[in-house]
Amino acid sequence: MSEAAALTVTDLVAGYTAAPVLDGVSIGAQPGTITAVLGANGAGKTTLLRTISGLVRPRSGRVLLDSASVTRSSPEDIARAGVAHVPEGQGVITELTVEENLRVALLLRARRDWAAALSGTYELFPVLGDRRRRQAATLSGGERQILVIARALLTAPRLLLLDEPSLGLAPRIVAQVMDLVRRLRDESGLTVLLVEQNARSALAIADQGIVLSHGKVVARDDAAALGADEGLRRHYLGF
């Protein structure tokens, strides 16, 4: 794994129509930490990730990876700079096999690394090894989530953006996914930005939390402090 990166987002304004979805968002994430991005539907969480990864072009503001600006770079260049974005709804390429999905991620690495990286992935996620020749369309929801996270890791990211990894998964699988994200930080020292509806499980593994509402940051604190804030929980987090 390459060296984890710090993320600095400053005054980001972005959206799809005249009204901005992100209205001056600033956040920072230290290398090797998990930042939970919370808030109601439509608060701008997904747009924040899509803007960081380049799928949405910001109107103003800056995105820095360590000290290098990736603002307005193309998604493919941002991916090559070390940002892995696992989009909402998972982004499995269902027409390809499990292994082909993984191989797409390897395309940006040297060919001599491919075999070792693949066998490392199958060791870490045996379920993918068992199903490597199957169409990705045949995987269950939990297996797909593992596939897209494993695929993102194969790009050797310095920053991992996860959009609602628990969406549509059974509670037991959610716990496994969250445990995997925590291990990625603890064992690989990865920087993670974790967007979640499920605030409770996200804050349980996060170092810090950020609450978005109507495109603005309304709260930012240690994960523990956010989870303990009665008013915030009732207003924005729903638990």
Place of tokens 């603890």: 186
Nearest distance from residue 216's CB to other proteins, in Å? 26
Helix segments in 74-167, DSSP class H: 75-80, 98-106, 114-124, 126-130, 141-154
Which two three-digit tokens encode residue 90? 């998972």
Q: Which pairs count as long-range contacts for 100-103, CB under 8 Å and 24+ apart, including other chains? A: 100/136, 101/136, 101/147, 101/151, 102/128, 102/147, 102/150, 102/151, 102/154
Half-sphere exposure of 90 (CA within 13 A, CB side): 22
Euclidean distance between the first and final Cα of the chain, in Å?
36
Nearest distance from residue 24's CB to other proteins, in Å? 25
**Residue closer to other proteins, measured from CB, 40 or 55:** 55
The SS3 call for residue 219 is strand
**Residue closer to other proteins, measured from CB, 78 or 184:** 78
By the 8 A CB rule, do 9 and 52 touch?
A: yes
Which residues contact other proteins by CB under 8 A? 53-55, 74-76, 79-80, 84-85, 87, 91, 93-96, 100, 103-105, 107-108, 151, 155
The SS3 call for residue 41 is coil
Nearest distance from residue 105's CB to other proteins, in Å? 5
**Residue closer to other proteins, measured from CB, 104 or 170:** 104
Nearest distance from residue 52's CB to other proteins, in Å? 11
**Residue closer to other proteins, measured from CB, 84 or 211:** 84
Nearest distance from residue 88's CB to other proteins, in Å? 11
**Residue closer to other proteins, measured from CB, 150 or 199:** 150
**Residue closer to other proteins, measured from CB, 39 or 82:** 82
Nearest distance from residue 108's CB to other proteins, in Å? 4
Nearest distance from residue 104's CB to other proteins, in Å? 5
By the 8 A CB rule, do 194 and 206 touch?
A: yes
**Residue closer to other proteins, measured from CB, 107 or 170:** 107
Contacts of 118 (CB under 8 A, 6+ apart): 99, 102, 103, 106, 154
